[in-house]
Structures are given as C-alpha cells and as structure tokens.
Amino acid sequence: MDWTMYIYKTIFLVIILLVTLLVAMYSTYGERKVAAFMQDRLGPNRAGIFGLLQPIADGIKMFMKEEIIPLSANKKMFILGPSIAMTTALLTGVVIPWGGTLTIFGHEFPMQIADLNIGILYVFAMVSIGVYGIMLGGWASNNKYALLGSIRAASQMISYELAMGMSIIALILTTGTLSLHEIVDQQQGMHWNVFYQPLGFLIFIICAFAETNRAPFDLPECETELIGGYHTEYSSMKLGFYLFAEYVNMFISSAVIVTLYFGGYHMPFIDHIGLSGNVATLLGTFFFFIKVFFMIFLFMWVRWTLPRFRYDQLMNLGWKGLMPLAIFNILATGVFYYFTELT
C-alpha cells in the first residue's frame, strides 16, 4: 500500500467518523419529530428553524451538566463503561462498504476503510464487546438498581446475539463468503438477499432491535421499573455517551442490514441508465444512505407503535421463538442448496 492510499484511508476514516456522529446526532432530532408526528404534536421547533439546532443545544446542555461520580463507585470502571459502549459502536463502521470505487488522478480508491475477508465476524466481535460497556456501567456504579439493569441488558443482548448469529449462518450458506464487500457485489441487479433469506432477515432485524436496546426491547433502560437502568448513576457526558451510543448503534445496525440484505450501495436498474465512473459511485453511496435512513425511520416507527415487552416475554421470544426459527432456517437453507447442487 503506497502513501496515497494511507492518506486516502485516513481522510476517509475521519469523514465516516464525522458522518456517523452527525447522523446519530440528528437521529435524536428525527426521533422526536417522528414521535410528534405519530402523536399529533409539533416536536422540537424553538431552537433554530424547524428546531434544527435542538441536537446542538442538547449537546451543550450535556457538557454543562455537573459531573457526579458516586463515592462508592469504582472510578476507573465507571469511566471505562461508557467509553467502551461508544468506542465499539464507532468501530463497527470500518468494515462497511459505503460505496464502490472512486478514481482520483488515475488511482482507484475503495469507499471502504477495511475490506476484511471475515467482515461479518468482525461486526459480531464489536457487538459482543459492547456488552461489557453496559455491564461495567451497572457494576461499577455500586448501585443495586443499576446492577440489575446491567444484568438484564447483558442477558438480553447475549440471548439475541445467538439468534442473530444463526440467522447469519443461513446467509453465509447462501452467499458463500464472510466478506461484506463480496456480499454486496453478489446483490447487484436487484438480487437482494432479502428475497432469498426473508426469514433470516426477519430474525436479524428483530435481534437488531434487541441489540440496540430499542423499544419494544428497551427493558435495560426501563425508567418505570428500574429508575434509569444501568446508567442510573451517570451524569453529564458520561450519560451522554451511553445515550448517544444507542443512536450510533442504530445507524450502524441499519447500515449492516442494508449491506447484508438490501444490496448495499447497488441501485436498481443502474445498468439501464448508462452511468459509470465516479458519478455512478457517488450516486450509489447516495442511494445507500437513502436505504439506511429508511431503516432508521423503521426503528423509530416501531418504537412509537409497539408497547414494551415484559422481561419474561422478551426472553421467551429470544429463546423459544427466534432460536428455533433460526435453526429451522439454517436446516432449510442447507437442504435447499444440497439438492440444488445435486441437480
């Protein structure tokens, strides 16, 4: 790799980081606008035109809040918890192919920070590490309510990670690769995996709701039952990191869903338009974000439509509902491709 590629990767990494933070920041604004629309309200409308400066006002407020660390808390672990939650949320985006290939001064640059041949495994590794951020936050607070909230969060995330992983096994049987870039390339021309793995997609997206602690799976942050869940003792930007990581995870989860099941940056009927080069690449990236924004809207739509599950209902769905369905999907996919190869 020459120096031009190092410079490009560094610049692209910074751009993706800033875009992720910007999208997550304005997802908080979009969340309140969607909720207001569904409840026949206006939503934020005072800070700037149409309330567009509301996320900035919220950020300033979080920075200005008094930072309190309980005397009985484990200070190092207390600080490490939200740091892990935020870091793992941001690191997941490095393997996502955000677009095709750009040609700049005769050099070709892929719009992907790291094209790992085990990209799916990397995504699951980051997701599994994120559990530690939540668990540490509850344990280090030395508060029984926070500890109970972190235990519920960890058990929920681990349970749904299993079903999510099994849904991906069926997708790997279909695509024959672990590389996210190769999975996207195989979906060119409307050969989206959602058409070949509809049950796997349904299981994956339900698990994504649970992994991001979004309603109706927001038991770890259930204010009415556990005060504030695992971040009860947090304030200022440490609390902000936990809350902001949820929206970063929602954006990254939406990008992963689009990459795995909805063709990534490939556009329908692009071959008939006759576009090529950088124009086609940038247009593909634009369509990629359109798909991602639709998935984010779906996350918000579900939150303000469905009621919260009881904890026993949540665990029953994960272990007695999604796990058997995921196993059945693996077996059905394996049998289908076995007989397909025979014929």
Instruction: Answer yes or no: is pLDDT of 1 > 80.
Output: no
Q: Indicate the average pLDDT of the chain.
A: 88
Contact partners, residue 50, CB within 8 Å, separation at least 6:
none
Handedness of CA 205, 328, 195, 166 (dihedral sign): positive
Residue 51 lies in a domain: no
Is residue 20 situated within a structural domain? no
Instruction: Using alpha carbons, select from 103, 96, 56, 124 the residue that is nearest to residue 289.
Output: 96
Kindly state whether residue 14 falls inside one of the protein's structural domains.
no
Residue 90 lies in a domain: yes
Two tokens, residue 206: 């339900």
Number of residues assigned to the chain: 343
Higher pLDDT, 227 or 123: 123
Mean pLDDT value of segment 253-282: 83
Tell me which DSSP letter residue 94 carries: G
C-alpha dist (Å) from residue 150 to 72, 85, 165, 343: 17, 13, 22, 51
DSSP 8-75: HHHHHHHHHHHHHHHHHHHHHHHHHHHHHHHTT---S-SSSGGGTTHHHHHHHHHHHSPP---TTS-H
pLDDT digits (tens, 9 = 90+) for 27-73: 999 999 999 998 889 889 888 888 999 999 998 988 888 888 888 88
- The answer as to whether 4 is a domain residue is no
Asked if residues 150 and 138 have their Cβ atoms less than 8 Å apart, the reply is yes
Helix (H, G, I), strand (E, B) or coil at 101: strand
**pTM, rounded to two decimals:** 0.92
Is there a domain that residue 213 lies in? yes
Residues 154-208 have pLDDT tens digits of 888 888 988 999 999 999 999 999 999 999 999 988 889 999 999 999 999 999 9
| Phi and psi based region of residue 329 (left: phi greater than 0; alpha: psi -120 to 50; beta: remaining) | alpha
Query: Could you tell me the residue range of the domain that residue 226 belongs to?
Result: 68-100+111-342
> How many distinct structural domains can be found in the chain?
1
Distance CA 27, CA 85 (A): 18
**Above pLDDT 70, what percent of the chain?**
94
CA gap 85, 135 in Å, rounded: 10
